[in-house]
Amino acid sequence: MGLREAKKERTREALIEAALRLFEEKGYERTTVAQIAAAAQLSTRTFFLHFPAKEDVLLADSAPRVELGVAALAERRPGEGPARALLRAIGAMVADASGKDLPSGVAAARTRLVATEPAVQARLLQRMATAQTALAEALHRAYPDELDAVSAAAVTGAAIGAVSSAAVAALRQGQTPEQVRAAMLRAPATAAAHLTE
Partner DNA sequence: ATGTATTGATGCACTCAATGTAGCAATGCA
Partner DNA sequence: TGCATTGCTACATTGAGTGCATCAATACAT
Residues near its own copies (CB under 8 A)? 81-83, 118, 121-123, 125-126, 129, 132-133, 136, 147, 149-166, 168-170, 172-173, 183, 186-197
Closest CB 42 distance from DNA, rounded Å? 4
Buried b / exposed e across 85-117, counting CB within 10 Å, b at 16+?
bbbbbbbbbbeebeeeeeeeeeeebbbebbeeb
Closest CB 66 distance from DNA, rounded Å? 22
* Among 28, 29, 93, CA closest to 61: 93
Sole window of 7-15, 78-86, 91-99, 173-181 interacting with DNA (rule: CB under 7 A): 7-15
- Decide if residue 172 touches DNA (CB under 7 A): no
CA atoms within 13 A on the CB side of 163: 22
As a residue count, the chain comes to 197
Radius of gyration for the chain, computed over Cα atoms and rounded to the nearest angstrom: 19
Q: What are the CA-CA distances from residue 146 to residues 71, 73, 163 (Å)? A: 19, 14, 23
Name the binder of 54 from its own copies, DNA, none, CB < 5-8 A by kind. Answer: DNA
Per-residue interface string for the shown chain with DNA, residues 27-56, x marking contact by CB under 7 A: ----xxxx--x---xxxxxx-xxx-xxxx-
CB 90 within 8 Å of CB 167: no
The residue among 3 and 195 lying less far from DNA, judged by its C-beta, is 3
Name the binder of 104 from DNA, its own copies, none, CB < 5-8 A by kind. Answer: none
CB 6 within 8 Å of CB 38: no
The residue among 38 and 192 lying less far from DNA, judged by its C-beta, is 38
Name the binder of 2 from its own copies, DNA, none, CB < 5-8 A by kind. Answer: DNA
Rounded-to-integer distance, Cα 39 and Cα 21, Å: 10
Name the binder of 94 from DNA, its own copies, none, CB < 5-8 A by kind. Answer: none
Residues that bind DNA (CB under 7 A): 2-5, 7-8, 11, 31-34, 37, 41-46, 48-50, 52-55
